[in-house]
Structure 1
């Protein structure tokens, strides 16, 4: 399979265009000189339609394309109170003429009661998005009781709207929905095309993984094209075999994407062999700043004048830099970091942001 076949297969899918693609691709010249490794950024944070965006916009385009065909009037999605995904889905829904509703969890022991509007939550309220904030006592991904409460709120609101004659679509945390997993095939294809224009052969692709919505598309594109680049994922929350998100789930989603492309589908073991998830940079907890992520945010900002965020991309970039320092990335390699967004969280509370200005 080649890029033309991939683009043709994807062009047949319903899609509501919102973002500005292809997103930019450029070198990090100063960091590259410092490390002896050629670093590049794929700027999904610049996807639009606003200045604060990210990788979920690609998912939203395909999910909402199908939703519009089905006559959906409302989309309910969920996440943490500082969710990047929720912000991007809300913006895409408004663009599509669909009403967004966000059901958000606030980790009270870590972040306190919600008492002021900051970061992504402020932007959601500025857009007039209906939000439901549920106080929880940890990461709602891993606490069954809290997850059940969130599901209950979603189901109740969905039932109310349907009783009024509306058509409602529920999208999982992080934009996890089958219609969206194919979206980041295009991210990989764009990187190949942009790297080729720059005369660069990609050796490694790094990104941050949480809800597992980007990796299936990236992996599927790599496998369909037979490209030798290694994909490395830096986790921002626990992704063990017993968790809702893990490598096995990613493998199954990758199979779905390959099937949609009309590409050969390897067995599970072959796909799992391509998955490389480093969980050492989560820090104390999800959405809590770590020393490594704080240092990585500062290092990139002071070297290149570019910002990554404290919840997701700062931890991902910390993993990339540590791999570079310790030799996991050979000298002279061409390495792309997929900047998936998260800059709105730089304006969150100190627990989330960390002492980045110190």
Structure 2
């Protein structure tokens, strides 16, 4: 939601009437932008892709998609790998001003927004007398890490970031460490802050790809176990697509010593809970362990 706050602020003042953005049908950012648009008095339009071979045909609204429908969002569905949603010609011809927000909020102003996320985390921790050693977060389209890293460079705070990938993060992928480096530099340049070398930024990037499972949005045993464990220990719910896999990574790092005993860790919960109510091919057998019959 913080991304939307920054991205929508200026367009709202300039009289934009519509926002078009895109994501997979499980999208968190699409839901958050839709909700923020409603609050701002801007009409949201979503273009969502769905892998029908993996998740089946859309027969009912569930999870994040259900919430966007409750919001009354105009929604268009595309086959995976197709595009063309950028065209706002018809809306412009009708006199509307339309903002195009790239997939999952990958917008320069959105990257800047997470400087505040970092400052808020550090402020709250220090107020409680906690000196953070690590911050764990989701690495997907990487809208969060650039702003977090930029804030670290600006403040000189020693905290380390641990990024748990939910999709491929190799140098050949659309999102990779070099993309993060470019975004960090762009943020610092925008703010007039000193810009470190590419090598210095790369040295701060630590991405673990071991918890993707078979693929994006495919149930993963460690993630299912992590969702259960946190809910039963603390009453908080993670999601099966993003945050469950990240928390699985955190638990593994604690168990194998990558997070030393006594270290202070912050976990950045970025949503995804509504996807627990998605189709079984996304959620998996997350509730089966209780062993109770529904009959």
Q: What band does the TM-score fall into relative to the shorter chain?
A: over 0.9
- State which of 53, 70, 86 in structure 2 corresponds to 1:109: 53
Residue in 2 aligned with 1:59? 3
Q: 1:281·1:319 contact (CA, 8 Å) conserved in 2?
A: yes
SS at match of 2:100: strand
User: 1:195 & 1:201 partners in 2: Cα distance?
Assistant: 7
Report runs of 4+ in structure 1 exceeding 4 Å deviation: none
Distance (whole Å) between structure 2 residues aligned to residue 281 and residue 252 of structure 1: 25
CA offsets 1:163-216 (integer angstroms, 9 cap, x no match): 111111111111111111111111111111111111110000100110110001
Unaligned runs of 5+ in 1: 1-56, 137-145
Q: CA-atom RMSD, angstroms?
A: 1.0
* 2:112 corresponds to: 182
Distance 1:187 1:243 in 2: 26
CA distance in 2 between counterparts of 1:328 and 1:114 reads 41
Question: Is residue 1 of structure 2 the alignment partner of residue 70 of structure 1?
Answer: no
Larger deviation, residues 237-246 vs 104-113: 237-246
Cα offset, 1:70, TM superposition: 3.1
Long gaps (5+) in structure 2: 289-295
| 3-state SS of 1:220 partner | helix
Instruction: Show CA shifts across 1:79-108 (max 9, x none).
Output: 011111000000001111111000000011
> Are 1:128 and 2:59 an aligned pair?
no
Report the Cα distance in structure 1 between the residues aligned to 2:199 and 2:173, rounded to whole angstroms. Answer: 19
Q: Which residue number in structure 2 is paired with residue 322 of structure 1?
A: 252
The structure 1 residue matched to 2:96, chosen from 158, 166, 169, is 166
TM-score (norm 2): 0.95
Aligned pairs for 1:165-314 (under 5 A) are 165-314=95-244
Per the TM alignment, residue 134 of structure 1 is displaced from its structure 2 partner at its CA by 1.3
Q: Counterparts of 2:156 and 2:190 in 1: how far apart (Å)?
A: 17
Q: How many pairs are equivalent?
A: 288
The answer to whether the 8 A contact 1:66-1:179 is kept is no
Residue of 263, 266, 269 corresponding to 1:339: 269
Whether the 8 Å CA contact 1:81–1:121 is kept in 2: the answer is yes
Cα distance, 1:159 vs structure 2: 1.3
